Amino acid sequence: MERGSQMFTYRIDQELQLKLWQKQDAQRLFELMEESREHIRTFLGFTDSTKEVSDTEKFIETALRSYAENSAYHMGILFNRELVGTMSLHDIDMNNKSAEIGYWISKNYEGKGIISRTCKGLLDAAFHELGLNRVQIQAVTSNNRSRAVPERLGFKQEGIIRQKEYLHGKFEDHALYGILKEDWVSN
């Protein structure tokens, strides 16, 4: 993952690429979220506070600041050059060589292995290029599709974080998964 002045892309394979968000992506990212709003809203609370393009512009501004501070990479997932979802490597802690991955994908692209393949590529970069030792993923316990990704990639479920998130009027538990560099390399 080469860090450019304000922009990078990272090729996963022939079909998939990660692209750092830029200000000009706000409209398309908002449209993608709108197309999948009801679908992703079940498990992701930000949909209720993202009501117009300006909300997405603010998110991208924050994402770019996080990138400049080397604390997060918020990226679009491009499948055959079309934006289909988002992935982030966030809460980057270089002192402890750890980070967390988050993601969501358009309902029209679920079930094609896109998130798993992209996550695998991001893990390769996290461990081999960024020098991280640990990466974690959290998901609402009832989000079976999201939980299947770390399970498929060899993460260990490390526990349940009780009432981690207040989502749509109730507290939701999160499943916590982690993988170490030594586990990834031996995979």
pLDDT at 6: 44
In degrees and rounded to multiples of 5, residue 92 shows phi and psi of -70, 125
**What are the pLDDT digits (tens) for 36-91?**
766 765 666 555 555 677 887 888 898 999 999 989 999 999 999 999 999 999 99
| Position 24 pLDDT exceeds 50 | yes
CB 61 within 8 A of CB 79: no
- Pair of tokens at residue 119: 């996550």
Give the separation between CA 108 and CA 67, rounded to whole angstroms. 29
Model confidence band, residue 102 (pLDDT cutoffs 50, 70, 90): very high
pLDDT at 77: 95
Mode of pairing for the β-strands spanning 134-140 and 98-105: parallel
**What are the pLDDT digits (tens) for 148-170?**
999 999 999 999 999 998 888 89
Model confidence band, residue 4 (pLDDT cutoffs 50, 70, 90): very low
pLDDT at 3: 46
User: To which H or E segment does residue 147 belong?
Assistant: helix 144-152
CA-CA-CA-CA dihedral for 183, 103, 65, 4, to nearest 10: 60
| Angle, helices 26-41/53-68, rounded to nearest 10 degrees | 100
pLDDT at 37: 66
CB 157 within 8 A of CB 176: yes
> Whole-model pTM above 0.95?
no
Chain-centroid distance, C-alpha 41: 15
Q: Delineate the domains of the chain, giving CATH numbers in brackets.
A: 9-185 (3.40.630.30)
**What are the pLDDT digits (tens) for 106-121?**
888 988 999 999 999 9
